[in-house]
């Protein structure tokens, strides 16, 4: 029984133990020669964890996990084992203390752990803002002092009902809490399968979809030209709005766009990061013209330059409010320009698959909202066929639909 070291643990693999009946997969255990009970367990899957085996003052055997090999070093695990053995010698129970601490974790405390150990590494900064807002404004004022293991489905129902006047925000809060409760299970704070957000029915939400008509697009173009000539808006804000219309890109994708991402030879934007990850956006000649006419600023990598030297334009909200008001575009958000791009594509007969590819959608369901628009050209074709046949039946002349020649 040698002393546990990193070299020894790295070199040791799981071993199958042959019994009289069959080969049985059991854990391989390496015990330390210096600290009684300190060990490293190697599972059949190859996972290696440090543990401490001891008996409490009343004779109960405990074997709590100290940490996973690789997450902590062997020396760090050894120091923790020493502290725990000292606690055992003084009549304590480290395993019971840890379980008690988990049981006492409040949602206020867990919220900070959610950010530091999960959200900050896994979510984009733009997604962290609504998470923090929903927690601070809605969730924590009502549930923050409650212990995470004690939160029940009724507590979730009560929060959801309390927010019934803002159904969208209520649903976002439940989704956030559901993710947090799943993490609480994963981290051993709640039992598996105990997520209290399960079976809490979400409120129906009204989808905000606004598509500009061709007449509205024409008014928008005229307003942009007027703002450009009179210089009521910066040329970069005007260019950004034009690019949003011509590419179907998201607001953030255009504002974060750098010249290194622009490939005018291949007529595309090579975005290293977006809501759905890295992607290539193919752009029309009109968008190429817009990009070629944007003045590049020395020592500024951004396409849409802001007021601060070396920085990009941060927000289009104020320019868009002035432009949309002048163009008489009622209830039109910047994101509706993306919807308009998709609606024009759908009305032109493009398939949902093609529209999804142009917009960079990961899930077909996201593109399905435009399915009802695809029927327009089909209805027009059906009407044209019907008119021709109807005229022939009535013995009058009608426009003849050209037929494809057959070989």
Report whether 253 contacts 244 (CB < 8 A). no
Residue 370 has pLDDT above 90, yes or no: no
Q: What is the pTM of this model?
A: 0.53
What would the pLDDT profile of 391-404 be if each residue is shown by its tens digit? 767 766 555 555 44
10 Å Cβ neighbour count for 176? 20
| 38-42, strands of its sheet edge to edge | 28-31, 38-42, 48-52, 65-68
Q: Among candidates 114, 165, 162, 128, which has minimal Cα distance to 142?
A: 162
Residue 139, CA distances (Å) to 63, 77, 120, 193 in order: 36, 37, 19, 22
Mean pLDDT, range 318-342, rounded to an integer: 90
pLDDT tens column, 245-289? 898 888 889 999 999 999 998 888 998 877 667 788 888 899 999
- Cα–Cα distance between 139 and 146 in angstroms, integer? 11
Better pLDDT: 105 or 158: 158
pLDDT given for residue 28 in this prediction: 86
Q: Give 405's pLDDT tier (boundaries 50, 70, 90).
A: very low
The percentage of the chain sitting over the pLDDT mark of 70, rounded to a whole number, equals: 81
**What distance in Å separates the CA atoms of residue 324 and residue 329, rounded to the nearest whole number?**
5
Q: Is 31 helix (H, G, I), strand (E, B) or coil?
A: strand
- Please state the rounded mean pLDDT for residues 90-116: 80
Q: Which two tokens stand for residue 210?
A: 């606004």
- DSSP calls for 46-86: --EEEEE-EE-TTS-EE--EEEEBTTB-HHHHHHHHHHHHH
Per-residue pLDDT of 236-247, as tens digits, reads: 999 999 999 898
Q: Is the pLDDT of residue 109 over 50?
A: yes
**Cβ pair 229, 240 in contact under 8 A:** no
Please tell me the predicted confidence (pLDDT) of residue 20: 41
pLDDT band of residue 98 (cuts 50, 70, 90) is low
> What share of the chain has pLDDT > 90, as a percent?
47
Q: Cβ contacts of residue 27 below 8 Å, gap of 6+?
A: 14, 41, 42, 43, 44
Summarize pLDDT for 2-13 with one digit per residue, the tens.
Answer: 899 999 999 888
pLDDT class for 25, splitting at 50, 70, 90?
low
Q: What does the pLDDT average to over 318-335?
A: 92
What pLDDT does 197 receive? 96
Which residue reads 């009179």 in tokens? Answer: 230
Determine the Cα–Cα distance for residues 127 and 376; give it in Å rounded to an integer.
36
Strand partners, 268: 263, 282
Lowest mean pLDDT: which of 297-301, 363-367, 401-405?
401-405
The span from the CA of 266 to the CA of 285, in Å, is 11
350/364: higher pLDDT: 350
**pLDDT confidence of residue 367:** 60
Distance of CA 221 to the CA centre of its chain: 33
C-alpha pair distances (Å), 343 with each of 22, 371, 383: 64, 9, 21
């Amino acid at each position: 029984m040698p002393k546990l070291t990193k070299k020894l643990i790295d070199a040791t693999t799981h071993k199958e133990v042959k019994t009289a009946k069959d080969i049985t997969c059991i854990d391989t255990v390496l015990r330390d020669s210096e600290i009684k009970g300190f060990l490293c367990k190697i599972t059949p899957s190859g996972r290696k964890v440090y543990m401490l085996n001891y008996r409490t003052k009343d004779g109960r055997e405990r074997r709590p996990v100290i940490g996973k090999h690789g997450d902590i070093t062997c020396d760090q695990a050894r120091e923790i084992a020493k502290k725990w053995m000292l606690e055992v010698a003084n009549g304590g129970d480290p395993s019971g203390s840890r379980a008690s601490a988990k049981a006492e974790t409040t949602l206020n405390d867990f919220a900070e752990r959610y950010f530091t150990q999960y959200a900050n590494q896994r979510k984009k900064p733009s997604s962290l803002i609504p998470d923090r807002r929903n927690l601070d404004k809605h969730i924590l004022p009502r549930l923050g002092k409650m212990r995470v293991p004690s939160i029940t489905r009724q507590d979730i129902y009560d929060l959801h009902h309390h927010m019934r006047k803002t159904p969208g925000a209520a649903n976002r809060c439940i989704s956030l809490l559901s993710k947090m409760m799943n993490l609480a299970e994963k981290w051993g704070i709640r039992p598996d399968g105990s997520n209290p957000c399960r079976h809490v029915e979400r409120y129906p939400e009204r989808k905000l979809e606004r598509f500009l008509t061709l007449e509205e697009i024409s008014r928008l173009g005229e307003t942009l030209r007027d703002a450009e000539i009179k210089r009521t808006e910066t040329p970069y804000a005007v260019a950004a709005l034009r690019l949003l219309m011509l590419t179907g890109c998201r607001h953030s994708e255009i504002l974060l766009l750098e010249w290194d991402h622009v490939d005018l030879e291949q007529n595309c934007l090579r975005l290293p990061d977006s809501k759905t990850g890295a992607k290539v956006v193919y752009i029309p000649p009109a968008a190429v013209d817009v990009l070629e006419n944007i003045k590049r600023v020395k020592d500024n990598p951004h396409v849409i330059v802001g007021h601060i030297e070396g920085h990009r334009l941060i927000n289009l909200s104020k320019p868009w409010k002035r432009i949309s008001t002048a163009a008489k575009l009622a209830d039109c958000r910047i994101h509706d320009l993306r919807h308009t791009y998709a609606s024009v594509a759908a009305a032109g007969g493009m398939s949902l698959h093609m529209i999804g590819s142009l917009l960079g959608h990961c899930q077909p369901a996201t593109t399905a909202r435009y399915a009802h628009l695809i029927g327009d050209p089909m209805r027009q074709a059906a009407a044209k066929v019907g008119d021709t046949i109807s005229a022939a039946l009535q013995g009058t002349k009608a426009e003849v639909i050209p037929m494809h020649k057959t070989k």
